[in-house]
Amino acid sequence: MPGSRSNRALRFWQAVLFLAFLAFWHVATSPTLLPAFYFDNPHKAAFFFGEPLKVLARTWDWFSSGTIYPHLWVTLLETMLAFVIGTALGLAVGLWLALSPTSSALLDPYIKALNSMPRVILAPIFGVWFGLDIASKVALGVTLVFFIVFFNVYQGVREVSYTVLANARILGASERQLLRHVYVPSAMSWVFASLHNSVGLAFVGAVVGEYLGSSRGVGYLILQAEGTFDINSVFAGILVLTAFALLLDWAVSFAERRLLVWQPRGGETEKM
């Protein structure tokens, strides 16, 4: 198939680009390969930018010795909890406000204010309220996830087709059945459209929370490494975070494909 062939070529060039980047990083920071052209000391480039081979070695070390697993587990647990709680709250409040115009009109300015507030700044307060354990990180993630889901659900309910709604009513749906069979499915498609965003932000909430004060987690590892000017470990931490962010994103895409089969996709042909 020509499609998969050009796809394979694309993957190949993407890998080449990545290796070229690593090679450039390695050559530019190695104390021995090139004379120092910017810094007065050949070791300074490695001090500021780390060395890719050492970063990879450190990452390998973490995984082979197993020291990373408890930290990674904590960060992923915080992400998952923030994502689940934030989505559930956003769904509930979004449905409630969308179906109750009075409450929606009453709360409108406060929701706008809360949404435009830079919520990362709440992290220290959550630290005080919920302690330095996972609860404060989950709380931060929830505030980030909640608004994305909330606005999408609100919009989703507002955009339910009048005809579909009227048709369900005429077919005999009660108000509760309308909620379950029309409003929620319609809102869910908007929630799924925002899943990538909300999972990403749950992750951000967890890592930023850890970075600002914690005793476990990948953010904590990075903070520790930074405290001892161990740039290679900082980059190793960033590498691990990026890899897991990609993994989460992929998991979301997978869930999306499974759960939104009813939505038309571009260029879909008949399946015989």
Partner 1 sequence: MAVAALALEDITVTFVSQDGARYTALRNTTLRIAPGEFVSVVGPTGCGKSTLLNVAVGLLQPSAGRIRVFDEPLAGLNRKAGYLFQTEALMPWRTALQNVTAGLEFRKTDPSQAARQAGNWLQRVGLGGFGERYPHQLSGGMRKRVALAQTLILDPQIILMDEPFSALDIQTRQLMENELLELWSANRKSVVFITHDLEEAISLSDRVVVLSAGPEAHPIGEFDIDLPRPRDVAEIRLAPRFIELHTLIWRAMKNEVLKSYARQQKQ
Residues that bind partner 1 (CB under 8 A): 161, 163-164, 166-174, 177, 181-182, 185-186, 188-189, 261-264, 268, 270
CB-based contacts of 93, cutoff 8 Å, min separation 6 = 146, 150
Closest distance to partner 1 from the beta carbon of 99 (Å): 18
Closest distance to partner 1 from the beta carbon of 177 (Å): 5
Of 173 and 238, which CB lies nearer to partner 1 in the complex structure?
A: 173
Of 114 and 173, which CB lies nearer to partner 1 in the complex structure?
A: 173
Closest distance to partner 1 from the beta carbon of 174 (Å): 7
Structure tokens at 18: 């990545």
Closest distance to partner 1 from the beta carbon of 197 (Å): 22
Of 70 and 185, which CB lies nearer to partner 1 in the complex structure?
A: 185
> Between the CA of residue 77 and those of 88, 135, 169, 202, 216, what are the distances in Å?
16, 11, 42, 10, 12
Of 94 and 156, which CB lies nearer to partner 1 in the complex structure?
A: 156
Of 154 and 192, which CB lies nearer to partner 1 in the complex structure?
A: 192
Closest distance to partner 1 from the beta carbon of 12 (Å): 35
Neighbours of 179 (CB within 10 A): 15
Measured CA to CA, the distance from residue 226 to residue 233 in angstroms comes to 8
